[in-house]
Amino acid sequence: MLGDLPGKSFLLVQVACDLYLPTVTANLVDKGIIGKNLPYIWQTGGKMLLVSALGLLAAFGNIYFASHQAMQVGQRLRTMLFAKVLTFSDDVSLMQPAVTLVFSLTNVGIVFLGSRLISGRIMEIGSLLTFLTYATQILMSFMMLSMLFIVIPRASVSAKRINEVLDAENQLQDPVKPVSMPKGPAELEFDQVSFHYAGAEEAALEGINFNLNFPLANVGSYLENSIV
C-alpha cells in the first residue's frame, strides 16, 4: 500500500489541477475579458500557466509510477491468463457509435440550453464553459468505461484462441523404429501435391511439383538457396 502512495499523490495533484482550471477560465472570461480588466487577465493567465505546469509535472510523475504498477499488474495477469478468462457478450458492434452519439448530443444540448440562459442573463459565459468542461470530463470517463466492454470480449476470444493453440497436441510423432536413409544419392519428387490443415475446408497449398535428385548433404543447402 505504501508503494502506491507516491503515484496516488501525483494523481490527486493532477486531478485537482484539471478540476481547478475550468474555474480559473470562468473567472478569466467573466471578470477579465468581459470586464476589460487587463491586469486581472494577466494575473489570471499567469495563474493558469502555473496550474497547468503543476498539472503537467504531476502527470509525468503519475505516468512514471503508473507504468511500474502496470508492469506488476501485467505479470499477475500473465500468470492468471490461462487459468481463467472472462467472457462477455460479443454483440458490441453498436457500442462505440452509440456512446459517440450520446456524447455529441449531450454537448449540443448543453450549448443550446446554455445559450438560452445566457441570452436571458441567467447564466454567464464563463459558467457555461466551466459546466461544459466538467460535463466533457464526466462523459469521457463513461466513454473509457464503455470501451472496456468492447475490448474485454475481444481479449477473451484472443486468449481462448491462444489457449487452443498452446493446448493442441503435436500430430507429428517420431517413429518407434526409424528407417535409416540409404547411402548415395536420394530423390524427392512432388507431383501435384496439395496441403491442407486438419478441419480446413480448402487446401492451403495446391499443385506443388518439384524433383530433387542430389546427394543428401546437398539437399538442405539446395532448399536454403532456393528459399533465399
Q: Annotate 11-22 with three-state secondary structure.
A: HHHHHHHHHHHH
Domain segments of the chain: what residues?
1-81, 85-169, 185-227
What does the pLDDT average to over 55-72? 79
Could you give the percent of the chain with pLDDT greater than 90?
0
Confidence of residue 222 (pLDDT cuts 50, 70, 90): very low
How many other CB atoms sit within 10 Å of the CB of residue 127?
A: 18
- pLDDT value for 2: 42
Whether residue 159 has pLDDT greater than 70:
yes
Nearest to 138 by CA among 15, 51, 34, 226: 15
- pLDDT value for 178: 78
* 110-144 pLDDT per residue, tens: 888 888 888 888 888 888 888 888 888 888 887 78
Residue matched to cell numbers 449540443: 108
Whether residue 212 has pLDDT greater than 60:
yes
Residue matched to cell numbers 502555473: 50
CB proximity list for 130: less than 8 A, separation 6 or greater: 22, 23, 25, 26
